[in-house]
Structure 1
Amino acid sequence: MLEGNRVSRISVRGFAVASATAVTAVGSVVGVASGSTAQTNDAEAAADATLLADIPAGQQAQVQTASLTQQADAQAIAADATAKKDAEEAARKAAAETAIAKKEAAQKAAKEAKERAEAKAAASRDATRDASTFSVQSSYSVAEIQAMARQMVPSGQFQCFSNIVNHESSWNYHAVNASSGAYGLFQALPASKYSSAGADWQTNPATQIKWGLNYMNSRYGSPCDAWSFWQANHWY
């Protein structure tokens, strides 16, 4: 009988220590014991106090249950705090990654747009022959003038270029507008504008073609852009 009482007291003391330790853990997590820190000897003191109470053996199950419950509560509170911290950190990381991705996408789009614009401008400027490389003739047929233009205008822009010339002069490099005085393949007004491409603008259609191509590129970006404007406004 004495031996049984001794085992009972040892068991109670162990669970009492666990119980007091669990209470201390709960206070540390939720900040109940602010301004003070539980020490190991506090748990021991609590255990000794429990021994003094001499809990009957029949109530030891209740003590065990209370101790385990307190430990579980402390662990749950600690887990909740850790989960909340991890969630906040994950949210900050995701926001930073999203911001970086958006910035990189915007930079990539801007770079691609610039490259397309430069390629388009280069294609418009890249004529295979210059006006000065054609031999001078006393007169030119429409077919000969169109052949010149095909060699001077980038292939991808020629049809748009041709559409404008068709509407403006029907490929007649001597065409004159009786009411305004506009002249040549592109109906330049005043006609002297052609002189910026060469002094022989009145007799050499290649010089007029050079001027017209430069005008479309500088004003609209390309012959096709100039043609788009012409279609919307019937002038360019």
Structure 2
Amino acid sequence: MIVLGIAAVVVFGGGGFVAYTAYQNATAPPPENPLTLQEMAGFFGGGDPFAADPNADQLKAAAVERLKRDRLKAGRAAGDLSPIEVPDRGPGGNGFPPANFPPGSDPSPGSNKATAKGMLSGFGFGDDQWGCLEKLWHKESGWNERAMNRYSGAYGIPQSLPGSKMASAGGDWQTNAATQIKWGLGYIKGRYGSPCGAWGHSQAKGWY
């Protein structure tokens, strides 16, 4: 009985105290000198705690981009080139009308790789560059001459942006894998010196 009595005093006494304190807080008059926003900002290290924070915004944006890259990398590892779509027609642009694909022509990554490997020496590249080129264009397009990036519009095996740049290698750039490969090897040589140079840049920056 003594224990129960003490427990009742603690429970009801404590509850009464809380209720009484809440009532006092609710009915008390406001302070004569309330804190200003500037004074409140002092608790946040100075400045306006609600103002834009460029550093924080940059970190948030970087985190979003990193998440996108991680998801894209995971998708590619699983064989899903999620940003890549295969249109029904070759794209137009810069005065070029959209081109119909030849009847019965299906992309053949294996044949396209063989074509590219045979062109390496013509651009002054040795066999040691093949591994880098194979990985680079697998990452870019899966060696599909119809691959188009749904976000940027880059097109073809080397993912030319815009695709019409490849017209310098041939008017059939929308449909011909060999024309795309010829342009792509010239682009790599002119800008990066070699496929391994382009692959290294792609690994570091995410593009080439």
User: Could you state the TM-score of these two structures normalised by the residue count of structure 2?
Assistant: 0.46
User: Could you state the TM-score of these two structures normalised by the residue count of structure 1?
Assistant: 0.41
Structure with greater helix percent = 1
